[in-house]
Amino acid sequence: MMDFLLGGLTPSAFVHDPLMAGAGYAMVGALVLAAVGLTYFKRWKWLWKWMTSLDPKKIGVMYIVVAVIMLLRGLADVLLIRTQQATSVGNSQGILSSDHFQQIFSAHGTIMIFFVAMGIIFGVLNLIVPQQIGARDVAFPFMNSVSFWLFAVGMLLINAPLVVGEFAATGWLAYPPLSELQYSPGVGVDYWIWSLQIAGIGSLMSGINFFVTIIKKRAPGMTLMKMPVFIWSVLCSMSLVMFAFPILTGTLGMLSLDRLMGMHFFTSGGGGNPMMYINLIWAWGHPEVYILVLPAFGIFSEIVPVFSGKKLFGYTSMVVALIAITILSFTVWLHHFFTMGAGADVNTFFGIMTMVIAIPTGVKVFNWIFTMYRGRIRFTTPMLWFMGFVTTFTIGGMTGVLMSVPAADFQFHNSLFLVAHFHNMIIGGVVFGAFAAFTYWFPKFTGFTLNERLGRYAFWLWLVGFLLAFIPLYILGFMGATRRLDHYDASLGWQGLFIVAGIGALLICAGVAMQLLQVTVSIIKRKENMVGTDPWNGRTLEWATATPPPEYNFATILVVSTRDAFWEMKKNKVVSEPTYESISIPKNSGLGVIIGLFALLVGFGLIWHIFWLALVGLVGVIIVLIIRLTSDDNDEVISAHEVRMIETAGGGA
């Protein structure tokens, strides 16, 4: 009976390791504290209004809040990893057991990719895409809320092992047969599977949502070739989401069937084939890299022209390059395992396809640089992030090309050289891009800019920290140091470099602390940094809305006739006499949150083999969906009069 009720969940499943439990209960404590605070300040209603909002701007903010919290979690993991690797040498065993160490780096990778990078990207998309195409909303506002709550549930499940159970110790991609029952009988891999499965379905729905939004909801006159390049980058990235995420869903599904029902998709024996998993996971995994980095390319394509006071150089080239990268990204997955023993012909094909991606990427870099040529460049922090991005990304690109030559890759594969390379791309590309975007678009939503001086300090801490953290890893790679080692021989002479890398990680943490300080100081002293609706002399439509933008973004739908539409409007001094109309916007809906909760039951039930709970969750999701889909009363109308009141009070567009 207890088995039926509680599955594998027993009192001993609760975490006893002081370090993990400490972190876990600290997180629970923080939640309790937040709840107390909300009650004390009577803000529950306020919170519920945020949680149930279908306004993409609010959903975007929630994505970013989750991503920032997860960034702190991921950084805490880094400090543990680096401390272990700097101290666990020779006779010393460091601070962590092998198993705990392996759980930590697996969590680090998973969290940073799925819950930090993806969270930031979808946050920025929600905030910017509708406004930049002159739309009032996304195509499917309710689905957008469901996407976010599935993402949030995935986040909860990936953090739950801090309190109950254990985390996967199989690396961030959980290769079988290691991740099969035979070698990982615990719940760790199940947590990993269901966290990603649920968040992944959310990502897929977001991909469809933004793709359709861009195709269907652009302002009249904004033809494809008049879209801002950021929108192009999102369109490409979301196409990748639509093609790649179903592969992830299917792959995780098969792995979970192996684990739940004793099937043999990827087991060593019984006719299973682990190589199939590795192919499939990278058929998703490589496009995933571009899902993250293409929007970052788009962000820089907005920032560089604005701060150079000049048109983007080579718009058509930029678009062609984006499309080329999008298509090519599906033809290179095998370069993640040249060492599997495929023949020379196969390896050559995938090697060359990989190099070919360097061409359109290189074109983009040259176009950005020539956007600055004969411009008037203002070196505000977004431009500093851009300079840092080009510097680190180019180095990362070169080491990437190096590894795309199969015979050279045999010497770099799974070494710290590889680890340095992909951090070069993800931090230098995605993370720096996100920080540039944050600084650039912050005043759009708040009416004041971020403190420049603290922003500059944060940038330098990040850049120097990044170099100190990852140059040693390149060198260690040459020394033959493989990734994921919790211990090594003193005679190898690696310790000094690991210590330097640890110092680099500390500097990065200081950079993050500086950014938190920057936001705090900027909010406290916001009176000093107040700006109008167009603080940077912007070029695209998001700067045409009021600050902060009203829920419907645009009181009057703008008509576009050129690229850089807002720039042209300013140049031609177009002042349209506003004619206010009533606007229909989606009502708040708590059903997204409820679907999230039921999905949490599904995930938790399957992880702990509490099958009745999973069934309750599944039925719950279906019922809520039926309720929503059969409801006609989902919108509310803001009357023309109210719109006029809002617009004239706010002094908006």
Partner 1 sequence: MATSTHKHRTLLKKVILSLIALIALSGIFVVLMNGHNLAVLAPAGLIASKEKTLIIITTLLGLFVVIPVFILLFSIAWKYREGNSKATYTPDVGSNRLLEGLWWGIPATIIVILGIITWQSTHELDPYKAISSTTKALNVQVVSLQWKWLFIYPDLGVASLNYLPIPEKTPIHFDITSDAPMNSFWIPNLGGQVYAMSGMSTQLQLMADGVGTYRGSSANISGEGFAGMTFNVESMTNTNFNNWVKTAKQSADTLGDVTYTALALPSKDMPPKNYGSVASGLYNNIIMKYMMPDDGSGISM
Residues 370-399 that bind partner 1 (CB under 8 A): 370, 372-379, 387, 390-391, 394-395, 397-398
Upper half-sphere CA count for residue 651 (Cβ side, 13 Å): 5
- Least Cβ distance, residue 572 to partner 1 (angstroms): 13
Which of 72-80, 226-234, 400-408, 528-536 is the region at the interface with partner 1 (rule: CB under 8 A)? 400-408
User: In terms of CB distance, is 52 or 87 closer to partner 1?
Assistant: 87
Query: What distance in Å separates the CA atoms of residue 365 and residue 635, rounded to the nearest whole number?
Result: 44
Handedness of CA 339, 343, 344, 346 (dihedral sign): negative
Selected range binding partner 1 among 240-248, 249-257, 333-341, 633-641, rule: CB under 8 A:
333-341
In whole angstroms, give the CA distance from residue 533 to residue 463.
Answer: 31
Q: By CB under 8 A, is residue 316 in contact with partner 1?
A: yes
Q: Counting contacts by CB under 8 A, is residue 108 touching partner 1?
A: no
Q: Which of 485, 506, 512, 616 binds partner 1 (CB under 8 A)?
A: 485
Which range touches partner 1 (CB under 8 A), out of 26-34, 176-184, 281-289, 430-438? 176-184
Q: Rule CB under 8 A: choose which of 410, 528, 581, 631 binds partner 1.
A: 410
Residues 57, 310, 335, 444: which binds partner 1 (CB under 8 A)?
Answer: 310
SS3 (DSSP) at 417: helix
Enumerate the β-bridge partners of residue 637. 584
Residue numbers 609-628 binding partner 1 by CB under 8 A:
none
Q: How far is CA 353 from CA 236, 295, 342, 523, 590, in A?
A: 19, 22, 16, 48, 47
Least separation in angstroms between CB 289 and partner 1? 19
Size, binding site for partner 1 by CB under 8 A: 105
- The residue behind tokens 């300090």 is 457
Smallest CA-to-CA distance from 201 within 162, 231, 241 is with 241
User: Contact letters (x/-) for partner 1, 465-484, by CB under 8 A?
Assistant: --xx--xx--x-xxxx-xxx
Give least dist CB 49 to partner 1, A: 43
Residue 636, beta-bridge partner list: 585
Classified as helix, coil or strand, 328 is helix
Nearer to partner 1, 44 or 373 (CB): 373
Q: How far is the CB of 426 from partner 1 (least distance, A)?
A: 19
Q: Which is nearer to partner 1, 44 or 478 (CB)?
A: 478
Which of 167, 192, 459, 488 is the binder for partner 1 (CB under 8 A)? 488
How far is Cα 181 from Cα 270, in angstroms, rounded to an integer? 13
C-alpha pair distances (Å), 108 with each of 102, 112, 423, 463, 575: 10, 6, 12, 20, 51
279 scored as a contact of partner 1 (CB under 8 A) = no
Rule CB under 8 A: choose which of 24, 171, 287, 605 binds partner 1. Answer: 171
**CA 34 to CA 223: how far, in whole Å?**
46
- Segment (H or E) for 272: none
Structure-token pair, residue 529 = 């940094």
Chosen residue from 268, 572, 582, 631 binding partner 1 by CB under 8 A: 268
Q: According to the binding rule CB under 8 A, does residue 344 interact with partner 1?
A: yes
Phi/psi zone of residue 135: left (φ > 0), alpha (ψ -120 to 50 degrees), beta? beta
93 forms part of the interface with partner 1 (CB under 8 A): no
Phi first, then psi: what are they for 584, rounded to 5°?
-95, 125
81 near partner 1, judged by CB under 8 A: no
Q: Does 414 bind partner 1 (CB under 8 A)?
A: yes
* 561 near partner 1, judged by CB under 8 A: no
Closest listed residue to residue 402, CA positions, set 382, 417, 384: 417
Stretch 517-546: interaction string toward partner 1, x if CB under 8 A:
------------------------------
Q: Minimal distance in Å, beta carbon 302 to partner 1?
A: 15
Cβ 498 to partner 1 shortest distance, Å: 10
Interatomic CA distance for residues 653 and 651, integer angstroms: 7
Q: In whole angstroms, what is the distance from residue 65 CA to residue 59 CA?
A: 10
Binding to partner 1 by residue 225, rule CB under 8 A? no
